[in-house]
Amino acid sequence: MSEVEILLDGAPVTCAEGLPLTEVLMARAPFWRQSPRQGAPRGMFCGMGLCFECVVVVDGAWSRACLERTRAGMSVRTDQPEDRP
Amino acid sequence: MTTLPQSAEVIVVGGGIVGLSVALALAEAGAKPLLLEAKSFGGAVTGGSLAAIGTHMHGLAEYGVMAHACDLWRAFAERTGNPFEHTAQGQVGFILDAEGMESGEGWVAEERALGAPCRMLTPAGLAEVEPRLTGPVLGATFAPDTATVNPFLAARTVLAEARAAGAVALDHAPVAGLLVEAGRIAGVCMADGAEIRAGQVVLASGPWSQEISVSAGVCLPLVPRQAQCLAALRQPPGTIRRIVSAVESRGGVASGYTQIQQAGSGQILFNTVVDFIETPPEAKDTVREVPSGFVLTSIDTLATLFPSLAEIPLLRSWVRFEAVSPDARFLAGAVGPEGLWVCAGDNGSGYCRSLMLGRFLAGEIIGAALLPGALQADARALYAPQRFTQVAA
Amino acid sequence: MSAAHLSCDVAVVGAGPAGLAAARAAAEAGARVVCLDAFATPGGQYAMQPTQAESPFAATAPVALGRAAARAAGEAGAQILCGAEVFWGACVPGGFCLSVNHAGRALAVEAKALVVAAGAMERPLPFPGWTLPGVIGAGAAQRLLKTGTGALPLPGKTVLAGSGPFLLAVAQSFAKAGQRLDHFVEMQRPLPADVAKVFARHPGKLAEAARLGLDLRRSGAARHVGHMVTRALGTDRLEAVEIAPLSASGQPVMGRAREIDGVGTLAIGYGFQPVIDLTTALDAAHDFHAALGGWHCRADADGRTTVAGLWAAGETLGIGGAVPAQLSGRIAGAGAARTLGFSAPDVTGATQALGNARAFASALAQLYPPPQGLPVALPEDELICRCEDVTAGDIATAIAEGAHESFAVKTWTRAGMGPCQGRICGAGIAAALAQAGVPADKASYNRAHLPLRPVPLPLVRAAMQAQTEMETRP
């Protein structure tokens, strides 16, 4: 297994390379988004790119974490600059 | 989804915002309207609308009735507790060139003379009114009283109020034609062959009105025109504060059209039409997709005016069909055989006029003036279907 | 940004068992083929490829099958693009234009014929607590196990629940990954005589079924057959799961409900539904069959849809599993190439085999009929639409006031207006409409529009520029 370091909300995290990003995020906490009207906590649900519950910003781009694979140096933000009322 | 009644006093054909408003006004006036919607309430032209409520850049002839139309929406929101997001966020008309500046100044001068609170904005003034509009604009018109409503929920509220006042409204009840007996209207014929008898029938079916009216020998000069819109993903509140529109050239046929606004949900709605495309009459009966060229101009306009939004994700697009009349004004009034009425011809901005037109037409039907002062007569003169020779033929 | 451009005879959307078979068949006939898939590697859900070299899944049969299918398609000359999500398709003169988000860059694919093998997605049915973090789809759990480290990332007990043979496959993935499965909750209890009848007719499937059953027993999970999850409990994350046995009429017996506490992950699935966004956007006809997962694309025996040049294969045509998917892919790929004038291989054998494979799938669907209504009555404040936070109460009120189809529910409540565009809430809305007396075929589906998935404006622009050029070319 080759290990890589990614930046998760600015903090370095070491993990295996090529993992679904959702696995790394879930290992930290089961949720990282809030729903738009109730502000309820949300984490990965469908895991296959269709529900958009796992959305994060990867290297500045709005992305579904379940479709992202961990790679060295990727910067992941979960603090929702968009998608919030 | 209930069994159809066999007869009604007045039948309103069409459950868009115009038909619902007619049914509401009739019910409030004591008539017992039966409204028949072919599919879902407010699902066609109404649902695709951006539902701006205001007088700015609509022309001087209609200014008085439009101002009253805006008052009616404000009062309706107050009376119902505003479940349909009526918000007076104001309207900015952006100006990109000298010609636009002349148009904008012309609109503002004329409307101000009639008492409107609109004014011109310098780029610095615009920066305060619409901070993220940082594109290359020379200035803007500003109408602080223009409002929007949620088009779906406003239709739903009008429906609920109409029912509460005694109207019966049925969805998935398509009308195929009109019954005429001894030279006067006798009711409607449903798509499944059933007949419902009524002494008065109002056609409020937007671009479908013409197809229904021909069964009574009436040719309405209404043609469908495809219109479309894009929606981008939810953005923080206040990203776009006003309705942002192009300043329309005055007097001439609109050569281009832009409207950009942030919906109550946070989604950014935007559309720019440079050339109105040819719309075959049957197009309105199929599900159509937005033309690729329209997507390009809409994205380019949004990115030019709001550079900070240039990379947000697109969420959705939709197409609707407006009913266009030769002079871009509604047809509202008696038409053809006795007992037949029409209220259609939104020309893309029917939402604002709907409550006013509903009251006007209900007044004509019951023989009372439901619009105040001279407005009933003004509306009669403005919207008389007889102004077109085809109608009489 | 301007779009990269690819031109081909046959474009195949989806690189699962159906798409890879279609790509291979068309390429073997001599057609230039481009096969697109949104995921990072080919294989689809069934033949999903592990990311870690030491994964226990590296040597499994489906993984080997997926690798072999991708290799065969590639050797036949098909170009397989992964991380390539199709976000729009349009008819243009001479064929189709696909707009693709290829790893953040715009790609326009021009094709004379199009085979849609977009696969299936889970058919999530809402139940109390289903939005709590930690509640995930059964397919999502399998994807994590197969493509991740093999251990589920949330601490706590694991519960696998729902209905259908796929649950057994997921339980097997737990075992294979070495991930502990604590509870297995299956709603249906097929009669042994019915099960025997199915395998008497399809004896070739017996070994696989026996292995699935054995692996479930080996997993050590407590098995609750004829039970269902009635609630997920927790404040800001899943903490406990309530299960109850079903009465003869299929209702949970709440007096015998019990709570499983200390749960970190509840993986739940009530079957699959066809992914039909591209085929609906291209205006192909669709039909509704509950046993096939609901709305699916209509096609003839060769996979030809009602739109000229548009073919469909695999679970886009109805849920049936990997074997029919592969066969229908081969048939549609060959058909698409043949129609373009290529001498495609004879697929008579595949057509015969497909009949048999579909018969098995339909027999399984009879053993495990996909529940059409909501499994448990929802309290008014429970969500049906996760994207826009629309509650069951909001939706029931809208239906009572006159929203009598999915589209009307959407316009009055916003259910389906968010980023998922109704994919996740569709089954729940259909169930709510059914409860109010609107049958599924009347409730209809929300047809997809541009874009099929949210995509940044610069990509949309670049792709639409390419589409405009194809539309206006002399």
- Residue-wise pLDDT for B215-229, tens only, equals 999 999 999 999 899
Q: CATH code at B292?
A: 3.30.9.10
- Tokens 């099958």: give the residue: C65
Give the range among A18-27, B254-263, C44-53, C254-263 with minimum mean pLDDT.
B254-263
Band (pLDDT 50/70/90 cuts) for residue A85 is very low
Give the rounded distance of the alpha carbon of C285 from its chain centre: 19
Asked, for residue A41, whether it belongs to a domain, the answer is yes
Q: Would you place residue B391 in the very low, low, confident or very high pLDDT band (cuts 50, 70, 90)?
A: low
Note the pLDDT of residue C1.
83
Q: Say yes or no: ipTM exceeds 0.90.
A: yes
pLDDT at B393: 45
Domains C4-121+273-366 and C126-269 share a fold: yes
- A82 CB neighbours in chain B (<8 A) are 233-236, 312
Shared domain for B209 and B161, answered yes or no, is yes
CA distance B274 to B208: 25
If asked whether residues B290 and B320 sit together in one domain, one would say yes
Range of the domain at A51: 3-77
Q: Above 50 in pLDDT, residue A83?
A: no
What are B's interface residues with C at a Cβ cutoff of 8 A?
1, 39-43, 47, 152-153, 156, 159-160, 169, 171-172, 232-234, 265, 267, 287, 289-290, 292-293, 295-296, 299-300, 302-303, 309-318
Q: What is the pLDDT at residue C53?
A: 87
Report if residue B77 sits inside a domain: no
Q: Decide the pairing of beta strands C286-289 and C294-297.
A: antiparallel
What pLDDT, on a 0 to 100 scale, did the predictor assign at position C294?
92
Nearest CA in chain A to B313: A62
Same domain assignment for residues B267 and B316: yes
Residue B38 and residue B135 in one domain: no
DSSP B288-338: ----HHHHHHHHHHHHHH-GGGTTPEEEEEEEEEEEE-TTSS-EEEE-SSB
Question: What integer pLDDT is reported at residue B279 of this predicted model?
Answer: 82
Find the CB nearest C54 among A1, A29, A53.
Answer: A1
What CA–CA distance (Å, rounded) separates B146 from B136?
24
Least confident of B268-272, C187-191, C259-263: C187-191
Smallest Cα–Cα separation from B42: which of C451, C269, C404?
Answer: C404
Whether A84 shows a pLDDT value over 50: the answer reads no
Neighbour subunits, A (≥3 Cβ pairs < 8 A)? B, C
Same domain, B136 and B229: yes
Model confidence at C22: pLDDT above 50 = yes
Q: B335 with B269, same domain?
A: no
The mean pLDDT of chain B is 93
Q: Distance (Å) from the C-alpha of residue C99 to the closest C-alpha of chain A?
A: 17
Domain spanning C126-269: CATH 3.50.50.60: yes
pLDDT 10s digits, C73-102: 999 999 999 999 999 999 999 999 999 999
Q: In degrees, to the nearest 5, what angle opens at C-alpha B378 toward C-alphas B374 and B384?
A: 145
Residues of A in contact with B234 (CB under 8 A): 36, 82-85
Which helix (H) or strand (E) segment holds residue C63: the answer is helix C61-75
**Contact residues, chain B, for A36 at CB < 8 Å:** 234, 265-266
pLDDT one-digit tens code per residue, B303-332 = 999 999 999 999 999 999 999 999 999 999
- Grade residue C372 by pLDDT with cuts at 50, 70 and 90: confident
Q: Is the pLDDT of residue B147 over 50?
A: yes
Q: What is the mean pLDDT of residues B122-135?
A: 97
The reply to whether B68 falls in a domain is no
pTM (predicted TM-score): 0.95
**pLDDT category of residue B334 using cuts at 50, 70 and 90:** very high
Give the pLDDT confidence of C322-349 residue by residue, as tens digits: 999 999 999 999 999 999 999 988 999 9
Query: Looking at residue A10, which CATH number applies to its domain?
Result: 3.10.20.30
Under an 8 A CB cutoff, do B292 and C90 touch? Answer: yes
- For residue B287, is pLDDT > 80? no
d(C-alpha B158, C-alpha C403), whole Å:
14
Q: How many domains does chain A have?
A: 1
Question: The domain that contains B172 carries what CATH number?
Answer: 3.50.50.60
The pLDDT assigned to A51 comes to 95
Average pLDDT, chain C: 95
Residue A83 in domain: no
Residues B103 and B204 grouped into a single domain? no
Residue B74 covered by a domain: no
B312 and A84 within 8 Å at the Cβ level: the answer is no
What CATH code is assigned to C4-121+273-366? 3.50.50.60
C456 to chain B, any CB pair closer than 8 A? The answer is yes
Examine residue C419 and say whether the peptide bond preceding it is cis (omega within 30 degrees of 0): no
- For residues B300 and B158, membership in a common domain is answered with no
Confirm whether B69 is domain-assigned: no
Give the domain extent around B169.
Answer: 7-47+152-222+327-392
Q: Which residue of B has its CA nearest to A37?
A: B265
Domain count of the fold of chain B? 2
Does the pLDDT at position C443 exceed 50? yes
Residue A85 maps to a domain: no
In a domain, residue B310? The reply is yes
pLDDT of B282 above 90: no
Domain assignment of residue A82, yes or no? no
Specify if B86 maps to a domain: no
Domain extent listing, chain C: 4-121+273-366, 126-269, 383-443
C437 lies within 8 A of chain A by CB: no
Residue B390 pLDDT grade (very low, low, confident, very high; cuts 50, 70, 90): low
Does B52 score more than 80 pLDDT?
Answer: yes
Residue B179 located in a structural domain: yes
> According to the CATH classification, is domain C383-443 in 3.30.70?
no
Q: Is the pLDDT of residue B277 over 90?
A: no
C127-181 pLDDT, tens digit per residue, is: 999 999 999 999 999 999 999 999 999 999 999 999 999 999 999 999 999 999 9
Q: Is residue B56 part of a domain?
A: no
The answer to whether residues B278 and B165 belong to one domain is no
